[in-house]
Amino acid sequence: MDLSTTLRERRLMAIVRGTHAEAALETIRVLAAEGIGLIEVSLTSEQALDVIARARDELGPDAALGAGTVVSAQDARRAHAAGAGFVVTPGFGDGVRQARDLGLPMIVGALTPTEVIAAQSAGADAVKLFPAAAMGGPEYLRALRAPFPDVPFVPVGGVDADSGRRYLEYGAPAVGVGSPLIGDAADGGDPGALRARIKAFLSATAQAPR
């Protein structure tokens, strides 16, 4: 998949992390049905690899479905075998090297300028700015883009609908959103509430200029 293009087109990456495998799978179904076509399943989720494999079967080979919290080389290999089309890492490590060797597109975690350079040198398709809120949110992205104007940053961590719109306005091709969007849906919570949050996030991101 062309991850860079997908990020620019979709703009919103849902991060599913849950304690109930069936609920996580149902969450993915709802996200896809409601128009969120870029989904990351964290490997810290209950039966994450099985959830990825089943979601891949249901959504088809072209769905932008990836694995998150990829840390080790084994994580990358297992995610690839389960059908992940891309990987997301919290930082630089063996998972990045293995994903690169497997030809998997990567969103590599970084926070400081030094880490951004390392992620780019490793062949990252995009840089996961994480935890974005801890460093000042959208204003930190704005500052980082001065020395790195061509780096596609995907802010993750504490992204709500308002800050998500501002990140996009400041040049991020997409934002990654976990609990502010998913809530308790992947733990067995109300899918109706999830649908309402999806609409709010899609509305907010649509307001940001491309």
3-206 CATH fold:
TIM Barrel (3.20.20)
pLDDT, tens digit (0-9, with 9 covering 90-100), for 113-166: 999 999 999 999 999 999 999 988 999 999 999 999 999 999 999 999 999 999
Question: How far is it, in rounded angstroms, from Cα 148 to Cα 100?
Answer: 22
pLDDT at 119: 97
- pTM, 2 dp: 0.96
Please report the pLDDT score of residue 210 as a whole number: 82
CB 12 within 8 A of CB 175: yes
Domain assignments of the chain as residue spans, ordered by start: 3-206
Q: Which of 58, 115, 128, 139 is catalytic?
A: 128
Report the chain's mean pLDDT, rounded to a whole number: 97
- Orientation angle between helical segments 94-102 and 73-82, nearest 10 degrees: 40
Residue 199 appears among annotated catalytic residues: no
Give the pLDDT confidence of 178-191 residue by residue, as tens digits. 999 999 999 999 99
Which of 9, 26, 34, 40 does the annotation list as catalytic? 40
Q: What is the pLDDT of residues 71-110, one digit of tens each?
A: 999 999 999 999 999 999 999 999 999 999 999 999 999 9
Q: Does the annotation count 128 as an active-site position?
A: yes
Report pLDDT digits (tens) over 11-37: 999 999 999 999 999 999 999 999 999
List pLDDT tens digits, range 104-113.
Answer: 999 999 999 9
